[in-house]
Structure 1
Amino acid sequence: MKKLVLVGIGLLLFIGCKSLNPVATTSDIDTSLRTRAVQQQIEDKVLRFESLQWRGQASLEQKRKRQKVSVTLRLKQGVGIWINGSVIVPFARVFITPKQLQFYEKINRQYAKVDFIQLKKLLGARVDYEIIENIITARPLNKHSLKRAKLTFTQNSYVLSSRKRGVSLIWTYDSAFRLISQQLSDGETFVRVDYDSYQRIDNQWIPEQLNASLSGVDKTVKLRLQFKQMQLNGKFKMPFEIPKDYTKIKLH
């Protein structure tokens, strides 16, 4: 249970295998566009922000165990990701920074601090702060690889793919150049994120629902996030302090 909660919140980051219907659009794709033109459109439409806040539901599944919690998620670009989880009353809080993930839960009065090297061992897959932030905000997992990607078309989407040094990346965009899905595979890790719907705020598209899946050597974790309230570039605090009388969780 301890590890399940930690992995799940740590994966408010990553994680969806269930493929959903693409986000509906009112126009067809333009198959006359060259790769560079599509990449430029993607860059022009990428979400730009200083801060974001979501409120909604999170559902986590691992080893046939499923948990559902209400979450408030606050993000300040490049600074930190703050998550508060509750089931009727608040029971857990997470703070992810470029250096580490910190977490405490009130039921058993326990906490954990994990850097990204330790998190890789725990999940069986590489993850860092930038990856987490990019997944939450529907940005490419690796923007440098996207610039070198090859373009193909399906009936309703632009597909960009890249493979280098054993790492395969695939991005699928709709006719409005919103990210429908992205996946990464390196032989040991498989990550897929599907973006089911978006909400338009201040002329920008913000992901409203996402399904994610992370498969490592011997683990598979699935996460569904469904947000009901969003705020772009608002002012908020991200309070986080581990209570002094809490016990440190031993992670293996």
Structure 2
Amino acid sequence: MKQIAFFLIVIIFASCGGTKTTTSTATTEDIATARLIENHYANNFDFTTLVARTRVRYQDAKSRQTVTVNIRIEKNKKIWMSASILGITGAKALITPDRVSFYEKINGRYFEGDFSFLSEYFGVQMDFQQLQRLLIGQTVYNLRDGNYQVDQEEGLYKITPKKQLEILNLFFYMEPEKFLIKKQQVTQPKDNLSLDVNYTSHQLVKGKSFPKNIAIEVLENTDQTRIDIEYRSVDVNVPVRFPFSIPSGYEKIELDELR
């Protein structure tokens, strides 16, 4: 497995920014939008710890790979990932609100840095909460924190900021039955960059809806990268461990190598 493939799995989830709250007079449309958002959060999946086994398919113009990725989360504190092929561990990552650490065994290399450094380098805001939300099927940031408008498109509620960001355009699509997020889309027109995250199916975990399949597509000019995640098993509120240490002798990965 290439180091860039696993790093994309970790990072691409978080490559979306937030929107600022502005003050405005509430209208009938605003009230209806607020009710829709509250219905969404009433059905949110909640947990203390989460353990999942996933199958991840990665494809770009040069390669195609399928790996098993085990994910462990302690809510708001840690996200741990371990990727393996044929039962042999090839890479691990440990993400906290303050730090991103990752190593891959094939080439004996590792990366360590914080979200602020990554945000500055990639030119988009990143943080731990955004990654956590996307992994469990929630919007990249709290919809209660901004002003939005709702339209209907192809049987879904389309939620957008009343005023799009200067650099990024954000779109969220919610199904009307259980108010689940079906798609999140971020476009960066200036750089011909777009990110689509589609929750193509859901499953019940402890009586609550949780993603079953996530399809991620990144398009930069004509270069396309696709990451498909299938949750094979999910358990919540169980004891979890986060074994992680970078082996001695590994070479540090510089960010310009990940371009």
Instruction: Tell me if TM exceeds 0.5.
Output: yes
TM-score with structure 1 length normalisation?
A: 0.82
**Mapped contact 1:161–1:171 kept (Cα < 8 A):** yes
Deviations 1:68-121 (A, max 9, x none): 111101111111110000001111111111122111122222211132244346
Name the aligned partner's letter for residue 10 of structure 1.
V
Deviations 1:2-58 (A, max 9, x none): 55235323236358xxxxxxxxxxxxxxxxx93222111111111211111210211
Q: CA RMSD in A?
A: 2.6
- In structure 1, how many angstroms separate the alpha carbons of the residues matched to 2:217 and 2:122? 12
Q: CA distance change for structure 1 residues 42 and 147 in 2, over 3 Å: closer, same or farther?
A: farther
Unaligned runs of 5+ in 2: 16-30
Q: Who is 2:150 aligned against?
A: 151
Match of 2:186 among 184, 187, 192: 184
- In structure 2, how many angstroms separate the alpha carbons of the residues matched to 1:130 and 1:67? 28
Q: CA distance change for structure 1 residues 108 and 154 in 2, over 3 Å: closer, same or farther?
A: closer
Unaligned runs of 5+ in 1: 16-32
Superposition pairs of residues 39-188 of structure 1, within 5 angstroms: 39-88=37-86, 89-120=88-119, 123=122, 125-144=124-143, 147-162=146-161, 163-166=163-166, 167-174=168-175, 175-187=177-189, 188=191
Superposition pairs of residues 15-34 of structure 1, within 5 angstroms: 34=32
Q: Percent identity?
A: 21
Deviations 1:154-198 (A, max 9, x none): 353222111333242211111211110011234445322100111
SS at match of 1:140: coil
TM-score with structure 2 length normalisation?
A: 0.80
- In structure 1, how many angstroms separate the alpha carbons of the residues matched to 2:99 and 2:225? 20
**Mapped contact 1:52–1:233 kept (Cα < 8 A):** yes
**Mapped contact 1:58–1:226 kept (Cα < 8 A):** yes
- In structure 1, how many angstroms separate the alpha carbons of the residues matched to 2:85 and 2:11? 19
- In structure 2, how many angstroms separate the alpha carbons of the residues matched to 1:202 and 1:169? 31
* Greater relative contact order, per chain length (Cα 8 Å cut-off, separation 6+): 1
Q: Who is 1:239 aligned against?
A: 243
- In structure 2, how many angstroms separate the alpha carbons of the residues matched to 1:75 and 1:218? 35
- In structure 2, how many angstroms separate the alpha carbons of the residues matched to 1:184 and 1:13? 11
User: Aligned-pair distance for 1:236?
Assistant: 1.0
Q: How many residues align?
A: 235
**Mapped contact 2:14–2:127 kept (Cα < 8 A):** no
User: Aligned-pair distance for 1:200?
Assistant: 0.8
Q: Who is 1:23 aligned against?
A: none
Higher mean Cα deviation, 147-156 or 101-110? 147-156
Name the aligned partner's letter for residue 157 of structure 1.
L
**Mapped contact 1:60–1:222 kept (Cα < 8 A):** yes
Superposition pairs of residues 190-205 of structure 1, within 5 angstroms: 190-205=194-209
**Mapped contact 1:54–1:227 kept (Cα < 8 A):** yes
- In structure 1, how many angstroms separate the alpha carbons of the residues matched to 2:145 and 2:137? 14
Q: CA distance change for structure 1 residues 2 and 68 in 2, over 3 Å: closer, same or farther?
A: closer
